[in-house]
Amino acid sequence: MTCELCGRIQQGEWTLGDFFIFHQPQMLSICEACRQQFTRITGPVCAECGCQSQISPCAECEIWLTAGYPAIHNQALFAYDEQMQQYFKQYKFQGGYHLRDVFQEMLAQRLVKVAPTMIVPIPITTETQNQRGFNQVSAWLEKCEINEILTCISTSKAVQSMKTRRERLQTTQPFCLVTENLDLTGQRICIVDDVCTTGRTLRHASSCLYESGATQICTVTLAR
C-alpha cells in the first residue's frame, strides 16, 4: 500500500500474534515514518486552548476571557504545523475520506480518558456537506458513540424561530441545537473539532450547549 503523504510503498509488519490468528497486519493510509513527523503537544499547556505554553491562560485566550466569553478547557493532541496542514489539505480540503483512519485510534483513546457522558462533534454547513460529502470530525469518531446534536444556523430549519428569540442577542453564534428544547441537564459533554485556531468555534459551541443545561463541557481538538 502506498503512503498517501510521501508516496512510498509501505510493507505491513507481521507480528507473531497476527500470524497465529490469521490477522492482516493493520496498515494505515499514511506510513509510520510520516506519522512520526506529526508533532505531539507535550509539556506545559494553556488550560484554555491546549496550546504549548508556559503561561495559562495564554495571551490569546486572555483576550477572549476578558471579552466575556465563557472559559473552555481544550485538549489538543498535535501542533498545527506544516505536516498537519499537509494532512488537512488532503483529508479535509481535497476530500480524502479514506485518510480518516490515521487519527481514529488516537482520538478514541483520548476520549476514553476524558470519559464524558456525551461526545458532540462540531457540525459542518450543508454546502460543505454537499461538496465534501462528510463531516471530517465525525469521520474520525466513526468507532465512537457520538451525538450530532449541533447544527449550523444558516442552514438550520430552526432559523426562523431563532431570529425572534436570540438573533438580537448573539448575531455571531453560528450554531444551534438540531432539536429545540433538548434538555442537557446533568450531561458532561466533550465537544470535538479538527483544529483550534482562535477557540472561537469551541466557545460558541460551548455556550450553545450550556444554555440547554449542560453541566460540564470540555473540548478535544486534533490540532492546535
Partner 1 sequence: MDESDFYGRLVPVRHDQIPALPEGSMTIPAIKDGICQRCATKINTTWRTPTSTYCWACANLGRLSDDQFLATIPEPNVFETDAMPCQWQGELTPAQRRVADEQVQALNAGRSHLTYAVTGAGKTEMLFPMLTVALQAGKRIALVSPRVDVIVELAPRLREAFKTDFVVLYGDSPETYRYTQLVLASTHQLLRFRAAFDVIVVDEVDAFPYAENVQLEGAVQRATKPQGCHFYLTATPSARLLRDVSKQRLRISLLPRRYHGQPLPNFTIIKIGNWRKKLSWRIQRILREYVISKQRFLIFVPHVADLTATLNEITRLQPSLKIAATHAGDPDRQGKVQAMRASELQALITTTILERGVTFKGIDVMILGADDPVFSQAALIQIAGRCGRSASRPTGKVWTGVTERTRTVIQARNEIRYLNMKGKQYDV
Judged by beta carbon, residue 49 or residue 120, the one nearer Zn ion is 49
Judged by beta carbon, residue 46 or residue 84, the one nearer partner 1 is 84
Instruction: Count residues binding Zn ion (CB under 5 A).
Output: 10
Q: How far is the CB of 195 from partner 1 (least distance, A)?
A: 20
Q: How far apart are the first and last CA of the chain?
A: 30
Q: How far is the CB of 84 from partner 1 (least distance, A)?
A: 15
**5 is in the binding site of which of partner 1, Zn ion, none (Cβ under 5 to 8 A by kind)?**
Zn ion
Q: Are 75 and 114 within 8 A, CB to CB?
A: yes
Judged by beta carbon, residue 142 or residue 167, the one nearer partner 1 is 142
With binding defined as CB under 5 A, does residue 5 bind Zn ion?
A: yes
The residue to which cell 497476527 is assigned: 18
**26 is in the binding site of which of Zn ion, partner 1, none (Cβ under 5 to 8 A by kind)?**
none
Which residues contact partner 1 (rule: CB under 8 A)?
29, 94-98, 132-134
**94 is in the binding site of which of partner 1, Zn ion, none (Cβ under 5 to 8 A by kind)?**
partner 1
* Subset of residues 28 to 67 that bind Zn ion, contact rule: CB under 5 A: 31, 34, 46, 48-49, 58, 61
Residue 40 DSSP one-character state: B
Q: Is 155 exposed, middle or buried (0-12, 13-18, 19+ CB in 10 A)?
A: middle
Judged by beta carbon, residue 132 or residue 188, the one nearer partner 1 is 132
Bridge-based pairing of strands 216-223 and 150-152 is unpaired
Instruction: Give the span between the Cα atoms of 68 and 169, in whole angstroms.
Output: 14
Q: How far is the CB of 157 from partner 1 (least distance, A)?
A: 21
What letter represents residue 64's amino acid? W
Distance of alpha carbon 65 from the chain centroid: 22
Q: How far is the CB of 98 from partner 1 (least distance, A)?
A: 4
Q: How far is the CB of 79 from partner 1 (least distance, A)?
A: 18
DSSP string, 127-156: HHHHHH-S-HHHHHTTTS-----EEEGGG-
Rounded alpha-carbon distances, angstroms, from residue 178 to 94, 125, 135, 145, 211 = 28, 13, 16, 17, 14
Q: How far is the CB of 134 from Zn ion (least distance, A)?
A: 19
Judged by beta carbon, residue 18 or residue 62, the one nearer Zn ion is 62
Instruction: Give the span between the Cα atoms of 114 and 75, in whole angstroms.
Output: 10
- Which residues would be at the binding site for Zn ion (CB under 5 A)? 3, 5-6, 31, 34, 46, 48-49, 58, 61
